[in-house]
Amino acid sequence: MQANSELISGRAKTVEIQMMKRRSLAGNCGVGVFVIALVTVLVAFATPSWLVSDYRITGAKLDRLGLWTHCFRSLPDVNDDYQRRFFVGCRWVYDPFTTGYDEIRGFLIPPFMIATQFFYTLCTIGVILSMIMVLFFFLCAGPDQKFFLKLIRTMGFLTLASGISGGIGVIVFAIFGNKDKWMPEHANNWFGWSFILACIGAVACGIAASLFLTEAHVQTRKRRQLKESQTRFQIDSESKA
């Protein structure tokens, strides 16, 4: 009887080890996709190539622009009817030092651009917060900890919210960013690589979120199966004792 009890106990431990694997394939893939989302979102947020001028046009007034930086080759002051002031080079959009730059800020940052900045900033903040939790999930947390499932669900929903915010930002910019009556020579402008990365980042956030939520479902099922197995082995052990 004692031998049978030890055999059952050994089987129970084996099952427990198999079920309490730290991460499933969904979790590992989620971490990998999240890394892509993190890199693309941060790079898109910081780089000034959301809208770029055709490099083949030598007399183009616009060079490139991003969420926070505008680069012009020779942009005339829209408030100067005599065309005596031109803006050349790259500047932070809230530059307080260049004479006259604050006076055209309403032209540089129309309402749709403010909306794009707002939603993509929310996306970036969400991704940074998710990064902290993903690092903890990847390096420290395990299924034996009570908060493990809450951590995965929080990662999933936060990353999903980041993807939705980023998606709204890029959609708004795609609709209004290259329309007439904003940047000069709009027919010769196109969406740059920063905007492409922003789109990839938003999509990657959504994919990572779905993988994290799948991981949460898998871990919940494993815990339920483990409890059922432990209960069954305990009943068998007591009946054979």
Please state the domain count of the chain. Answer: 1
Enclosing domain of residue 120: 27-233
pLDDT digit string, tens, across residues 59-104: 778 889 999 999 888 777 766 666 667 778 888 988 888 777 788 8
Residue 147 lies in a domain: yes
Three-class DSSP category at 141: coil
Q: What are the start-end ranges of the H helices in the chain? A: 2-19, 25-46, 105-108, 111-139, 148-176, 193-240
pLDDT given for residue 4 in this prediction: 47
Residue 128 CA to residue 131 CA, distance in Å, equals 5
- Of 21, 16, 3, residue with least CA distance to 228: 16
Please check the confidence at residue 188 and state whether its pLDDT lies above 90.
no
Backbone phi and psi for residue 139, each to the nearest 5 degrees, phi listed first: -105, -35
Mean pLDDT of the chain: 82
Q: Is residue 17 part of a domain?
A: no
CA–CA separation, 204 and 155 (whole Å): 14
Q: What's the distance, Cα to Cα, between the start and end of the chain in Å?
A: 6
More confident residue, 23 or 87: 87
- Domain assignment present for residue 11? The answer is no
CATH of the domain at 217: 1.20.140.150
pTM of the model: 0.81
pLDDT of 47 over the 90 cut? yes
Residue 126 has pLDDT above 70, yes or no: yes
Residue 194 lies in a domain: yes
Domain membership of residue 7 (yes or no) is no
